[in-house]
A and B are shown apart, each in its own frame.
Chain A
Amino acid sequence: MTRRMERRLAPWLAAAIAILLTAVPGLALAHGIGGKDAAFVASSHGAQIIPFLYLGAKHMVTGYDHLLFILGVIFFLYRLSHVALYVTMFSLGHSITLLTGVLTGVQVNPYLIDAIIGLSVAYKAFDNLGGFQTLLGVQPDTKLAVLVFGLFHGFGLATKLQTLHPSKDGLVANMISFNVGVELGQLIALTVMLGVILWWRKSSSFARHAVLANALILTAGFVLMDYQLAGFFTHRAA
């Protein structure tokens, strides 16, 4: 492929990946833990290290809300050390709440948590565009924001796992396996996203389309938030 073709194709490829992430129905279903996986969690007893490791990784790789947030976080991170730092903050956040949430049995309405997760996506895109600085004249700490939203992402996961009533037998080992799986899945997703974004940054179109890409991430975040809020209100009314 010539440089010129690459330059012309890059934004379309990035857009196609973004659409795939949000539009594939299988991915949409996989946002929760469904079907056979749910039956497995509900019916398994004792330590099941590898299956829970796999489920954790699968949840991350197919969880478009987590993926969009990570994409927002790394979008303008140019140094690998920064990527590592921010992703560690996110992992720290969601590990704390995933483990304590399931082990202590704290339950929060899953729709509200997922609405906050949607909001976190929109927040990050808005922040990326310098929204806080430009419109409000303040810059909230970017690392702290990633940590705090990480706490909500982990809580969302914990709440969904708990609705499946995992057995107390081997729970600690299973949840740690699930959490390690989540980190592995995140690493896989991160590698792919970084690969695409590093390649895209080399083309001149990146500067022009970066704003548009963040506007789309912001919109997608709000769609997720609206969807979950609608779920919250319809299920409360029922």
Chain B
Amino acid sequence: MTEPVEGLAPQPPSRRKLLLITGGGFLAAAAIAVLFVLPAEMHVDPTGFGRLTGLARLAGPKTETVRTAPSPRGGAAPVATPARYYPTPFRSDVIEIPLGSSETDNLHSELEYKVRMKAGDSLVYSWTVTGVTNPEEFYSDFHSETPARGQTPAKVMEYRQSTGLTSNGALTAPIEGVHGWYLQNQAVGAVVVHLKLSGFYELVPPGEYGNLGGIQPKAAKG
């Protein structure tokens, strides 16, 4: 034995035992990862053990993040077909979304509001927030998503995550699904988001996916 190093076992195990511990630990780790951790955390299930035991359900539906080309700053985004025609009826809506105080009503200070669109459908939108003056205190996340269906993974497309009290723009839905905003009030007082929408889309009935906050349109012209 050489002189002991501080921080190491004063009586280290024998060579044989050490090989057993290291090899056994390595193999046990591989088995735990493949049988339990990967199915439950990542939906990776090479042995089928995750599906058999229901562990794979813990990983939830598979989500795919779909990349979108960001529109160039200041200029209009390139459009493949400038003129398009829609079977979906045209509509316009004015929607008011109240959000509670981030301090006294945290539960109601955030929600998701989205509308249903088929791939290729377009809308234009404009929203402003009232009740807050500091643009740093209002956060929004503009995105599209398709819920998972059976073995098909959910798809999520992210457009813009930012703070600010107003946003104007347009969207041509790249995928069928729900499209809209996660809105989060970070101010002390309650606020209202005034959203105007026009185009080819359908409102999500209150309480259904995309409008779990139960928001009703203020004025609808079908």
Listed in ascending order, the chain A residues whose CB lies under 8 Å from chain B are 28, 39, 42-46, 73, 75-79, 82, 86, 122, 126-131, 133-135, 139, 142, 207, 210-211, 214-215, 218-223, 225-227, 230-231, 234, 238
Contacts and interface: CB of A to CB of B under 8 A. Distances in A.
Nearest to A43: B139
A130 B8 contact: yes
B33 A134 contact: no
The 3 closest A-B pairs by CB, nearest first: A130-B12, A222-B29, A226-B33
Interface of B: 2, 5-15, 17-19, 21-22, 24-26, 28-30, 32-34, 37-38, 41-42, 44, 64, 136, 139, 161-163, 184, 186
28 contacts: A28-B41, A45-B163, A78-B6, A82-B7, A122-B25, A122-B29, A128-B7, A130-B9, A130-B13, A131-B22, A133-B8, A134-B12, A134-B14, A134-B18, A142-B5, A219-B29, A221-B29, A222-B25, A222-B28, A223-B33, A223-B37, A226-B37, A226-B38, A227-B33, A227-B37, A230-B33, A230-B42, A231-B42
Interface of A is mostly: helix
Contacts of B17: 211
B184 A39 contact: yes
Contacts of B161: 42-43
Contacts of B32: 219, 223
A149 to B, nearest CB: 13
A105 B80 CA distance: 35
A122 to B, nearest CB: 7
Contacts of A139: 2, 5
A45 B138 CA distance: 12
Given A126-B22, A226-B30, A231-B42, A79 B8 contact: no
B21 A129 contact: yes
Contacts of A130: 8-9, 12-13, 18
A223 B22 contact: no
A222 B163 contact: no
Given A43-B186, A222-B26, A128 B9 contact: yes
B25 A219 contact: yes
Contacts of A127: 8
Nearest to A146: B7
Given A128-B9, A210-B9, A230 B44 contact: yes
A82 B6 contact: yes
Contacts, number: 119
B8 A76 contact: yes
B25 A128 contact: no
Contacts of A238: 64
Contact of A128 (B8, B15, B19, B38): B8
Given A142-B8, A222-B29, A227-B33, A131 B18 contact: yes
A134 B15 contact: yes
A120 to B, nearest CB: 14
B2 A133 contact: yes
B38 A230 contact: yes
Nearest to B1: A133
Nearest to A141: B5
Contacts of B34: 226
A73 B6 CA distance: 10
A211 B139 contact: no
Contacts of B10: 76
Contacts of B19: 135
B184 A211 contact: no
A130 B14 CA distance: 9
B7 A142 contact: yes
A133 B15 CA distance: 10
Given A79-B6, A142-B5, 11 more contacts: A39-B184, A76-B6, A77-B6, A122-B25, A130-B12, A130-B13, A139-B2, A214-B21, A219-B32, A222-B25, A227-B42
B11 A207 contact: yes
B80 to A, nearest CB: 26
A75 to B, nearest CB: 8
A234 B15 CA distance: 37
Contacts of B136: 43-46
Given A133-B12, A227-B37, A86 B22 contact: no
A223 B29 contact: yes
